[in-house]
Amino acid sequence: MTRGIQAPGWLAKRSTVWILLVPMVAVAGLLQLFASSLVVDIYTQFCVNLMIVLALQAFMGNSGILAWTHVGWMGIGAYASGILSMAPMVKSLGVPNMYPALVEIQVPILLAIVLGGVVAALVAALIGWPLMRLSDAVGVITLFATLIVMHVVMTQWDNVTNGPRTFFGLQKFTTLWIAVIGAAIVLYVVHWYRESSPGLRLRASRDDRYAAMAVGINVVQVRYIGFVFSALLAGMAGGLWAHLITSFSPKAFYILEMFVLLAMLVIGGQGSVSGAFLGTAIVTAARQFLLQVEAGINNSGALTLEVFGLTDIVMAIFMVVVLIWRPNGIVGGREFTWPLFRRRMKPAADGATGSQQT
C-alpha cells in the first residue's frame, strides 16, 4: 500500500469527515465575510438539508430500503419543536384549537429541537418493528403508505398542527453557524454509525440478507436500530429547519419535498456519507442556478410566455442522466479517504470492474 503523508490514527480513521468538514466550514466563513445575505441564507438552507439527507443516508444508504418516511420525521420534528419552543401567547394566537396542556409548555429552543427529534424517534420506534420485517417492493410500498398516513394526520389534527393551514410564530433561531455546527455533528455521527458494528451489520444485510442471517445478524433488529436512529436525526434536523423557516404547513413534508431529498441522496450516491454530501451540494447549487435562470427569463420578457417548472424538469432530466451514467450515484458508494487519490493495488483490474461495484 502506498501512502502519501501518514496521518495520525485518529485522523485517518475519520478522514472522510475531515475531508468534507473543512471545505464546508471554510465556505461558511468566506460567505459570512464576503457574500450577500441571500447567499448566506441559501447556504444555511443547504446545511439544514444536508442534515436531513445525511439522516436519510444513515438508514436508506446502509439498509438499501427506499425510505419515503423521512420527510415525515422532519415534519414531526418541526411541529414538535415548534410547539415546545413557542410562547403560550403566540401559540394560542397561531393555533386557536390547540390542547390547553400543549399551550402551556415552553422550553428553551435548543432543548425543544432535541426533544423534537426524540418525538420523531419515538414514533419511528412505535411503528418501525413490523415495517422492518418487510423487504423489497413490499417494504417500499408500506413506507410510502406510512408517509401518506403521517401527512393525513398533520393536515387533520387541528389541535396540534393547525390542520392544513400555516403554522406560524416560531422564533428564528437557526443562523448560518448553528446550521454549520448542526451539519458537522450529524456528519460525524452518521459516519461513525456507518463504520460502527450496527452500521456494518446493516450494510451486510443490504448486500445479502441470507448471508447476513447465516453469520448471525438479526436483520430486523439492525434495520430497526437504523430506522429509529435516522428518525432521531431527521427529527432534530426538522427542528432546526422549522426555526429557520419560522412558518410552514403540512405541504412542506410531503412527496414533492421527499423527492428532492431523494434526488440529493441518489445523485450523489446513497451508499456513502461522501455521496450524500456531494449530492446535496450539487442539487442545491443546480436548483438555485436554475431558479435564477427561470426568474431571469420571466423578468426579461424575452419570451412572450412565462416559463413554469423549468427547475423541476431540468432536475428530473439531470437525475435520469446521472443514474444512467452512474447507477450508484456520482461517488458510487465509496467514501473520500485520505490520501485523496490513493493508487489501488491493481489499477487496471479495478478500473475494469469498478463500475459494477454495488
Partner 1 sequence: MLTIENLTASYGAITALHGISLEVGEGELVALLGSNGAGKSTTLKSICGLLRPGQGAIRFLGEDITGKAPEVILKKGISMVPEGREIFGGLTVEENLRLGAFTSYQRDRYRADLDEMFALFPILKERFTQAGGLLSGGEQQMLAIARALMSHPKLLMLDEPSLGLSPTMTDSIFELISALRDRGTTILLVEQNAERALEIVDRAYLLDTGSIEFSGTPDELKRRVDIASVYFGGEDDGTCEVRL
Contact footprint for partner 1 (CB under 8 A): 1, 197, 200-201, 203-204, 206-208, 210-218, 271, 333, 345, 349-350, 353, 356-358
Tell the smallest beta-carbon distance from residue 204 to partner 1 (Å).
5
**Nearer to partner 1 (CB atom), residue 2 or residue 36:** 2
Nearer to partner 1, 101 or 215 (CB): 215
- Residue 249 beta carbon to partner 1: minimum distance, rounded to whole angstroms: 40
Q: How far is the CB of 85 from partner 1 (least distance, A)?
A: 41
Query: By C-beta, is 109 or 265 nearer to partner 1?
Result: 265
Q: Which of 234, 210, 275, 253 is nearest to 62 (CA)?
A: 275
C-alpha span between 71 and 51 (Å, rounded): 12
CB 30 within 8 A of CB 350: no
Report the nearest approach of partner 1 to the CB of residue 207 (Å).
4
| Distance of closest approach, residue 233 Cβ to partner 1, in angstroms | 23
Nearer to partner 1, 78 or 222 (CB): 222
Q: Which is nearer to partner 1, 41 or 207 (CB)?
A: 207
For the record, the C-alpha cell of 279 comes out as 449530492
Our CB check for partner 1 shows the closer of 201 and 287 to be 201
Nearer to partner 1, 109 or 217 (CB): 217
Q: Among residues 169 and 333, whose Cβ is nearest to partner 1?
A: 333
Smallest separation, CB 15 to partner 1 (Å): 14
Minimum Å distance from CB 213 to partner 1? 5
Q: In angstroms, give the least distance from the CB of 337 to partner 1.
A: 10
